[in-house]
Chains A and B, each alone.
Chain A
């Protein structure tokens, strides 16, 4: 009897071990994203060869992004500070810190991250999305979660075990990072009015078109060309950044030398990078107020006032800003573009064409734990 029981127990154990082993070893059955097609005008992009875009990774990443299980107190998810309706920002000047008070920086919009970027965060301290993804999880003031504890929690969930298995094989911190990255890479926006204009589907109004021209032009008083000079720094405004490591960082004249934050210098140690911040995407800019790394401007009007006559000079101020002046004879009390109110309004009208309503409400990017998930 005992013998029989023991044999049965061994059989069960063998089966269980085999199952666990099989479960781990089965590897992923991931399938490439169906019908994927990215606009050519956004330029080249590269997906890390060890983390291809797949349906299963996207589904897993989406769940993780919206799941407070990722935080130590199980109350904060990525979506707490990155809300879809606000183009994955949080509408605050600075995000709240777990310990009370606020974080150092304003939340950043997550959009078209597939293109190019080699540096993430306002000061560029992360060098890949995969590297970035685990940072907020462990940050004591963001999600304050121990990675080993997180993996134990995820492993306890049958749903997550299944999703991880299909996407990658095993539940691991590395695969958490990969899945979150895939979800974020797939946050693709291609249907703002301006995108449709580029495809030839709609026309811009005269004011929007005027704004577009100003946005693209460097002012040259010699040939009476007026310009807002934005493109000099915001050339990747439809995507989310620059492919060449440090190209997309500059000092756009927010602070004087006395209170200039370190910015990129904190990462590179190079004093020439003091006060340099990442030039962010301008896609959906109308819904991502307040603006700048510290959320100091409430409206696009305030942003334009800054560029028009509020530039603060410092040692590392971009020469592109210093040189761009539409009325150099007008006296030197202020530094800025010195455009007319009409021109300023035109640029704002153009910035408003960059809003992609479909993206902000796309159910594929919404919280999978709610509604039709």
Chain B
């Protein structure tokens, strides 16, 4: 217990283990390397780790881990990686001792990228870090982090506002449903986050223990006051008989493409839907929420992430494990721009890059959550998601979607793969 408390403050790389670095490869192309968060599988006796993996199928080192730092002392793994606008790398985390961390990267004298370790940041008690975005409030830029567990409790959840230079908590945005008045806006289990002008949106997903409660609203935060001002319900079909559990959001906005009319898009993890909520920037009001994609009608489930390139928007659907693609310029409408990219169950995060010969590629990480499989007697298994963890990254031709190669982390490293980002920059143009 004492250790937990201690670890909760700043834990600099203590107990870190540098393992198995391949010899210096001075001529490698960094653009095809991915930063991945790997999850130790309890039944296979492996540790969580942060690693750099080569993802270019044309490379001799395809699928190899070029650098890896393990986290033997952390029970739950790190969760999502994000680069700050100044190029610093952060990760949210599921373990209460490390809900948010900054990761140190450097190059050795041969030019090989090296993960130096990570520093857990003080979140002032906010736990289960999910998404990060950098946005401006009154002319000052901050790092906003959603904490699905917030400061604890049955209806917890917070948005942490951090100083971008010092990583210190500037403010905790919290509004418990049980404490705000009837009909007043609340924040509960926030996960997805996006913003446009002076409006930020977060989702209400699910209590981190997966049983206590599930959300069905979006919360709008006024970036001038950093206070929640409105809830918007996004719930219709209930194929699982659960609340809809909105997960990732994207505030589609003109700076992504000049033709875009601003609107929030939100995926509901248990409703299997994509919602659109139009926004009128003049009056600062939101219109009717409407379903623009139905998983039930289209035989897909668990829609997750939004990622954009210069001209397309990609949405991952955990089941059957596909990435659907749309015209970026047509947003907020979803106008298909090509056939589905067929990945693996759990299709989730993705990055875009080119191969050594110049072929445009997309890599899809296929694992819904940082959870194991019942078949392996994994204690972290949750029934519903048993089929959603392929533990792979599949590589596809971006133009045709053709599947070219895969890295199976479970087979190769006895680990799951929870997140992927480009090593050098983020690997995509739009995400939040």
Contacts and interface: CB of A to CB of B under 8 A. Distances in A.
Interface in B145-198: 164-167
B111 A203 contact: no
B412 interface: no
A49 B166 CA distance: 39
A18 interface: no
A36 B108 contact: yes
Interface in A1-47: 32-33, 36-41, 43-47
Given A49-B26, A200-B165, A200-B167, A40 B86 contact: no
A52 interface: yes
Nearest to A222: B258
A64 interface: no
Given A40-B113, A200-B166, A47 B106 contact: no
Contact of B111 (A32, A39, A44, A197): A44
A202 B165 CA distance: 7
B110 interface: yes
Interface residues of A, number: 24
Given A200-B165, A200-B167, A45 B111 contact: yes
Contacts of A32: 109
Interface string A33-72: 1001111110111111100110000000000000000000
A261 B215 CA distance: 67
Contacts of B109: 32-33, 36, 38, 47, 52-53
A39 B86 CA distance: 12
Nearest to B87: A41
B107 A200 contact: no
B193 to A, nearest CB: 21
Contact of A47 (B26, B29, B114): B26
Contact of A40 (B29, B107, B110): B107
Interface in B122-160: none
Interface string B85-97: 0111100000000
Greatest chain A CB density within 10 A among B86, B88, B165, B167 is at B165
Given A43-B424, A198-B87, A200-B164, A37 B106 contact: yes
Contacts of A45: 107, 111
Nearest to B109: A36
B27 interface: yes
Given A44-B30, A44-B424, A52 B110 contact: yes
Contacts, number: 63
Contacts of B166: 200
Given A40-B105, A200-B165, A203-B165, A47 B110 contact: yes
A37 to B, nearest CB: 4
Contacts of B89: 40
Interface string A91-106: 0000000000000000
B111 A200 contact: no
Secondary structure dominating the interface of B:
loop
A151 B108 CA distance: 33
Nearest to A198: B86
B111 A40 contact: no
Contact of B106 (A38, A197, A203): A38
A52 B24 CA distance: 11
Given A46-B27, A49-B27, A198-B87, A40 B106 contact: yes
A32 B110 CA distance: 9
Interface in B323-373: none
Interface in A191-231: 197-203
Given A44-B111, A45-B111, A46-B111, A200 B88 contact: yes
Nearest to B27: A46
Contacts of A199: 88
Interface string A337-352: 0000000000000000
A47 to B, nearest CB: 5
22 contacts: A36-B109, A37-B106, A37-B116, A38-B106, A38-B109, A39-B106, A39-B107, A40-B106, A41-B86, A43-B30, A44-B29, A44-B30, A45-B111, A47-B26, A48-B26, A49-B27, A198-B86, A200-B88, A200-B165, A200-B166, A202-B165, A203-B165
Given A37-B106, A37-B116, A48-B26, 8 more contacts: A40-B87, A40-B89, A43-B424, A53-B109, A197-B86, A198-B87, A201-B165, A203-B165
Q: Which 3 A-B pairs have the closest CB atoms?
A: A36-B109, A40-B105, A41-B87
